[in-house]
């Protein structure tokens, strides 16, 4: 009898954890850039674990679960050319600031990227855009120094980055 009671408790706990667990979605966004190229972002709504940002080493390409960008044609970010192709979206910590960057190709989880394949975007960083509980990536119209351009945005916890794409 005690075994059945214990088994019942275990089943209830397991079932309730599935019911109360919140989902993480695979998302994609597609936009036509001013250059005419089509840009498609694909990612998973990864929980924002700010210790990843706090503990990130300076100068290294960091990517939370490998979000990707596919460009159907060539684009620019500031004065930097971005050839058509597939990229992994990430960030680089520079002191107390951050820069949005793209890694040419797909990165396997835990792989140390070759920094020669990293393209730094003309980007802006802010920690005052509110907080996102899960990673949010989008392509939106730019503002400020990115006025009139498309920007790739990444919101992760209190980190908000916008990198120009044109």
pLDDT in tens, 131-164: 999 889 999 999 999 999 999 999 999 999 999 9
pLDDT in tens, 56-114: 889 999 887 779 999 999 999 999 999 999 999 999 999 889 999 999 998 877 788 89
Give the DSSP per-residue string, 73-132: S-EEETTEEE-SEEEEEEEEEETTEEEEEEEES---TTPPP-GGGEEE--EEEES-S--E
Residue 43 has pLDDT above 90, yes or no: yes
6-25: average pLDDT: 48
pLDDT at 108: 78
pLDDT at 109: 76
Model confidence at 22, pLDDT cuts 50, 70, 90, reads low
CA 23 – CA 44 distance, rounded (Å): 10
CB neighbour class for 152 (10 Å; exposed up to 12, middle 13-18, buried from 19):
buried
pTM: 0.83
Residue 23 has pLDDT above 80, yes or no: no
In 36-97, which ranges are continuous DSSP H helix? 50-54
pLDDT in tens, 3-15: 444 434 433 333 3
pLDDT at 21: 61
């Amino acid at each position: 009898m005690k075994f059945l009671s214990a088994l019942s408790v275990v089943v209830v706990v397991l079932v309730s954890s599935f019911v109360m667990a919140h989902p993480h979605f695979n998302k994609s966004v597609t936009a036509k850039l001013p250059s005419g190229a089509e840009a498609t972002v694909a990612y998973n709504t990864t929980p924002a674990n700010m210790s990843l940002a706090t503990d990130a080493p300076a100068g290294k390409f960091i990517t939370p679960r490998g979000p990707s960008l596919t460009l159907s044609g060539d684009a620019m970010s500031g004065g930097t050319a971005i050839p058509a192709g597939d990229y992994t979206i990430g960030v680089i910590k520079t002191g107390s600031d951050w820069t949005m960057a793209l890694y040419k190709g797909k990165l396997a989880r835990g792989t140390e990227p070759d920094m020669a394949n990293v393209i730094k975007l003309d980007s802006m960083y802010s920690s005052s855009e509110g907080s996102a509980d899960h990673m949010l990536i989008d392509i939106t119209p730019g503002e400020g120094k990115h006025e009139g351009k498309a920007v790739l945005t990444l919101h992760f916890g209190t980190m908000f980055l916008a990198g120009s794409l044109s």
